[in-house]
A and B are shown apart, each in its own frame.
Chain A
Amino acid sequence: EAGVAQSPRYKIIEKRQSVAFWCNPISGHATLYWYQQILGQGPKLLIQFQNNGVVDDSQLPKDRFSAERLKGVDSTLKIQPAKLEDSAVYLCASSRTSGRNNEQFFGPGTRLTVL
């Protein structure tokens, strides 16, 4: 079974530029998550999708971050414009469905550096 795929693996941009990350979850997984992990901290949930609907985006900075999951499969996370404090690893995860007992499978992440 193929894992969660993410691209790019690394991205360096200057502040005020835009950037987009792509995620392909495990086939058949209905729930998709985007996490932000700042260096030295644990991952923090930004947004959760159930199929193509948003379940939770309470911690997504909506003035600059946006995410979509068209057709309930792949997802993109966009930052526009980027700030220095957005430097972090962005992790995508998926699970078979939502719920507390469903294991989340994580992708390798995209390391973003904002200069």
Chain B
Amino acid sequence: SQQGEEDPQALSIQEGENATMNCSYKTSINNLQWYRQNSGRGLVHLILIRSNEREKHSGRLRVTLDTSKKSSSLLITASRAADTASYFCATFPSYNTDKLIFGTGTRLQVFP
């Protein structure tokens, strides 16, 4: 079963704008990860945030985690056409040692 659900399911923006995607999950977690998937490079790991962290940055990416609300958000600043892809959150539930469980994904389209 899917642990996470991303919102929105699809998002279209212009280059230069910021894109925000949200992820909600069901059970307590050890960590939450964000992945990007496009036809050119497949599924690529972007960033990992642990359950005791609230915010993390990597380049133009900013991830927040609110464990009380069981939610996370991914912000991409100053988006580029190359950011067009599907974005997935994935969690390691606390009850399970090694099984990474993916959400349903947000399809991001960035127009030049």
Chain A interface residues (CB < 8 Å from chain B) = 40-45, 48, 55-56, 91, 93, 98-101, 103-109
Interface centre among B43, B44, B88, B104 (most CB of A within 10 A): B43
- Cβ A100 vs Cβ B30 within 8 A: yes
How far is the CB of B7 from the nearest CB of chain A, in Å?
14
Instruction: Give Cα A41 to B31, complex, Å.
Output: 21
A residues near B102, Cβ cutoff 8 Å: 42-44
Given contacts A55-B98, A108-B42, A109-B42, contact A42 B31 (CB under 8 A): no
How far is the CB of A23 from the nearest CB of chain B, in Å?
13
- Cβ B45 vs Cβ A103 within 8 A: yes
17 A–B pairs (Cβ distance < 8 Å), ordered by A: A42-B4, A42-B90, A42-B103, A42-B105, A44-B102, A48-B98, A48-B99, A91-B42, A91-B43, A93-B43, A98-B98, A100-B92, A101-B31, A101-B48, A103-B45, A108-B42, A109-B42
Instruction: Give Cα A41 to B29, complex, Å.
Output: 21
Kindly list the 6 A-B residue pairs having the minimum CB-CB distance in the complex, ordered from nearest.
A42-B102, A106-B43, A100-B92, A108-B42, A100-B30, A42-B88
Tally of chain B residues near chain A (CB < 8 A):
21
Residue of A nearest to B43 (CB): A106
Is residue B97 contacting chain A, with contact meaning CB distance below 8 A?
Answer: yes
A residues near B82, Cβ cutoff 8 Å: none
Interface centre among A42, A45, A105 (most CB of B within 10 A): A42
From DSSP, what is the main secondary structure of chain B's interface residues? strand
Is residue B81 contacting chain A, with contact meaning CB distance below 8 A?
Answer: no
How far is the CB of B76 from the nearest CB of chain A, in Å?
19
Q: Which residues 63-79 of B sit at the A interface, judged by CB distance below 8 A?
A: none
Given contacts A42-B2, A98-B98, A101-B31, contact A107 B42 (CB under 8 A): yes
- Cβ A103 vs Cβ B48 within 8 A: yes
How far is the CB of A88 from the nearest CB of chain B, in Å?
13
Q: How would residues 77 to 94 of chain B score, 1 for a CB under 8 Å from any chain A CB and 0 otherwise?
A: 000000000001010100
A residues near B31, Cβ cutoff 8 Å: 100-101
- Cβ A106 vs Cβ B42 within 8 A: yes
Q: Which residues 21-69 of B sit at the A interface, judged by CB distance below 8 A?
A: 30-31, 42-45, 48
